[in-house]
Amino acid sequence: MKKQAKMKRSRIARRLGFHFTLQFFTLWLLVLAIVLISLFTMMYYIGNEQLKTDLPSEVLDSLSMEAIIEGDSVELPSFWQDQLEQKGYWLQIVNENGREVYDLNVPEGVPKQYAASDLLRISDTGRLSEYNVTTLYEEIFGSRNLYLLGRKDADGSRLEAWYELYSENGRVPDSAAATLDDKVKSIGASLVILDEAGRVAQNFGLPSNYATYGALALIEMRQQPAKSKMEVSYHYDPASEYTWLIERPRASEQPTNQPILRTLLIILAIVGIAILLLSLALAVWHGYRYGGPLLLFMRGFERMGRGEYEQVFTEKERRKIFGKNGRFRARYKLYHEVIAGFSEMADKLARARNERLRLEQSREEWMTGISHDLRTPLTTVQGYGHLLESGQFSWSEKELREVGGTIREKSTYMLELLQDFSLTFELKNHTPGEKLEPLELNEFVRRAVLRYVNDVTLQNVVFDFEESPASLRILANPKWFQRLLDNLISNAVKHNPPGTEIVLSVMHEGEFAFITVRDNGVGMDAETQSRLFDRYYRGTNTDEGMDGAGLGMSIAYAVVAAHKGTITVESGVGEGTMIKLTFPALPSPASERETGSHL
């Protein structure tokens, strides 16, 4: 029993642990999913913002994160083509052999195969023919690739051509100033020439935004073009240390509708609100799911405290717990062992209360029976005691022996009566007593009969025994079983005249063992048969002179029931009586050995 309870508790603990672990992982999977979605959303917006910055290195970083390269196979989301085309970029990816494996918007004239020196020069100078090229080297899972992101630098090529035509020691001579000024104005730009100290030496075309440049002004215009309203191309002459710049207004000056910081804050706020709402929803759900059963148990404990064990759960509550098919509803399925144990505990308490009431009733009946049946013999013993104590009478030796014999008989009667009451109380209240053990009936019944055959006080009764041909065993308590046979034989002796023949027989049929006690005595009528096993019933003779308190046959009936057997009586007035006992038989040793050999 303890092992089963321990296994049940362990099973409940495992189920609860698995249930809450699953909920924990489910919750964190939801949180992880929200975080991942948020991160991808942020990356998407960051990528868009990087595209808007028009800085090739940032565009290339975003692009490389979304490119999937397996060998010479490259997959890139389709929206990149529109984005790069809109910005005027082209993309080329070459493998470790210098061969092109992917191209997007690549113009004609751009090589499909590169030598190592070509790629090194492009990476160092950032130029390929008339294109500005930004490179990114990437090595993933042993695969090495180089990204080339290019954009045509028309102003840079024009600037180099003008420098070749109009430069003298890095400056524009006065003879060419007007011509160059017209050309610069025609393209809607301004030409600024800086000396070695970074001061504006000459200015052509449209007015420049700067009279002089700070140390980081040009770097800012190149590294953070989104913050500048001007696009800048430059050419530096190392011999003269002059720098030529072409400035033109940026084509798209529209500010970003959703700055990256604002986007980040909005996304974080949405994530926080989503997690908060999810936590609140789970808290409400947990409170409803686990609080309801606890309230149910509390109401059940209140009823048990009032002693209402038969209906711990009301009909309405049972409909909440069980569906129409009798199975647990999903809300209570987690607690089905707890509910079953709760109901079992209530049933045990109800049985204990009923058993207590029954024991109290049995005790009252036992005390009533003892006081009733002991009153007459005690009165006799007390009367003789008073007579002997008074000294008013002279007693002969014969009279004293008769008085002593009467007192002994009444004392023996009372002792046997107390033993009968104790055994009746024990059997009625299912006291297990000694454990049942295998009992061989032939030998046991033979010895019981021999005790009566050898009793010198029973000279006028004939006893006989008929045994079973084979050994026959049952599970029995020897002490109780001996009392059973004694009561049946004594009853047959007491209620029949001298010369009655009493025969005990043992038989075996199928899975059952039979013991019969039959006599050829006076028999009994129908009423006596119907009440034979009632306590305190002694037939039509209620005279106290008849030994016994009417408990013998009720004790016999209780002993048979304790051995999982049955007892029946067949009788008729003047036809004798047969009492038949039936018990489950144990397999014989021979059949057990035979079964074992087959196994």
Query: For residue 141, what are the domain limits?
Result: 54-152
Measured distance CA(104)–CA(92) in Å, rounded? 6
- Per the confidence metrics, is the pTM higher than 0.75? no
Q: Where are the beta strands (DSSP E) in 469-549?
A: 473-476, 501-509, 512-519
Residues 6+ apart with CB under 8 A from 370: 417, 418, 421
Task: Find the radius of gyration of the CA atoms of the chain.
Answer: 57
DSSP state for residue 518 in the 8-state scheme: E
Question: What is the number of domains present in the chain?
Answer: 4
* pLDDT in the model for residue 239: 84
Q: Are residues 143 and 168 in the same domain?
A: no
Residues 6+ apart with CB under 8 A from 378: 410, 414
Together in a domain, 504 and 565: yes
Q: Are residues 204 and 88 in the same domain?
A: no
> Does residue 8 form part of some domain?
no
**Residues in Cβ contact with 105 at an 8 Å cutoff, skipping those fewer than 6 apart:** 81, 84, 85, 89, 90, 91
Q: Do 449 and 584 lie in a common domain?
A: yes
Pairing between β-strand 501-509 and β-strand 462-466 as defined by DSSP bridges: parallel
CA distance linking residue 502 with residue 496, whole number of Å: 10
Look at residue 374 and tell me if it is in a domain: no
Does 371 reside within a domain? no
Element (H, E) at 135: strand 131-140
CB burial class (10 A; 0-12, 13-18, 19+) of residue 248? middle
- The last residue of one of the domains, among 364, 394, 426, is 364
* 146 and 221 inside one domain: no
Same domain, 145 and 285: no
Instruction: Evaluate whether 488 touches 542 at the Cβ level (below 8 Å).
Output: no
Last residue of a domain, one of 325, 341, 364: 364
pLDDT in tens, 532-545: 877 655 554 434 44
How far apart are alpha carbons 108 and 100 in whole angstroms?
A: 14
Asked, for residue 569, whether it belongs to a domain, the answer is yes
Same domain, 138 and 168: no
| Cα-based angle 542, 543, 546 (whole degrees, multiple of 5) | 100
Show contacts of 534-541: CB within 8 Å, 24+ apart: 535/369, 535/424, 536/369, 536/373, 539/495
Q: Residue 446's pLDDT is what?
A: 93
Residue 568 has what DSSP assignment? E
**Of the candidates 146, 157, 149, the residue with the CA atom closest to the CA atom of residue 106:** 149
552 and 589 inside one domain: yes
Tell which residue, 584, 391, 555, has the closest CA to residue 480.
555
**Last residue of one domain, picked from the residues 152, 180, 215:** 152
Q: Is 256 domain-assigned?
A: no
CATH of the domain at 226: 3.30.450
Please check whether residue 68 is in contact with residue 93, taking contact to mean a CB–CB distance below 8 angstroms.
no
The answer to the question of residue 287 being in a domain is yes
pLDDT score recorded for residue 595: 43
Per residue in 427-474, pLDDT (tens digit) is 665 554 456 889 999 999 999 999 888 877 777 889 999 999 988 999
- Residues 301 and 438 occupy one common structural domain: no
323-341 burial code (b ≥16 CB/10 A, e <16): eeeeeeeeebebbeeebee
Is there a single domain that holds both residue 206 and residue 242? yes
Distance CA 507, CA 516 (A): 8
Q: Give the Cα separation of 520 and 218 in Å (integer).
A: 137
Per the domain annotation, does 419 fall within a domain? no
Query: Which helix (H) or strand (E) covers residue 370, if one does?
Result: helix 336-390
- Taking 50 as the pLDDT cut, the residues of the chain under it are 253-261, 432-433, 540-546, 592-599
- Whether 172 and 316 map to the same domain: the answer is no
Are 280 and 237 members of one domain? no
